[in-house]
Amino acid sequence: QVRLVESGGRLVQAGGSLRLSCAASGCTFCTSAMSWFRQAPGKEREFVAANTWSGSSTIYADSVKGRFTISRDNAKNTVYLQMNSLKPEDTAVYYCAAGTVAVTSTSGYKNWGQGTQVTVSS
């Protein structure tokens, strides 16, 4: 089974940038679709972005369009989330997930990372 490990989360001021990484291991063919979700305290886990290995599909939540960019290094089996112009409302634990099709629902993914905390100060 695939193991996903997120990294890169930290405290950052509003307007700043961060790049999150999600390294996959244990199954190179289980990550045809990779996604990022986030969950703030007291809130449901929400979709952020997703893409496919082939590049045939890329999806962004409306709340992050124009600010966040998802990308992948297939040789390293790693997916990234470049976050620019960060806002306090972006504060959450960010999770990566692996599946076969890029979708926006949590039910579409079986493998999840442990999450990395992103805190944006005002």
Tokens, residue 102: 């890029």
Q: Distance between CA 102 and CA 96 in Å, rounded? A: 12
pLDDT the model gives residue 31: 82
pLDDT by residue (tens digit) across 19-72? 999 999 998 778 889 999 999 999 999 999 999 987 788 999 999 999 999 999
pLDDT by residue (tens digit) across 72-122? 998 899 999 999 999 999 999 999 999 989 999 999 999 999 999 999 999
Q: Distance between CA 96 and CA 36 in Å, rounded? A: 4
**What kind and span of H or E run contains 9?**
none
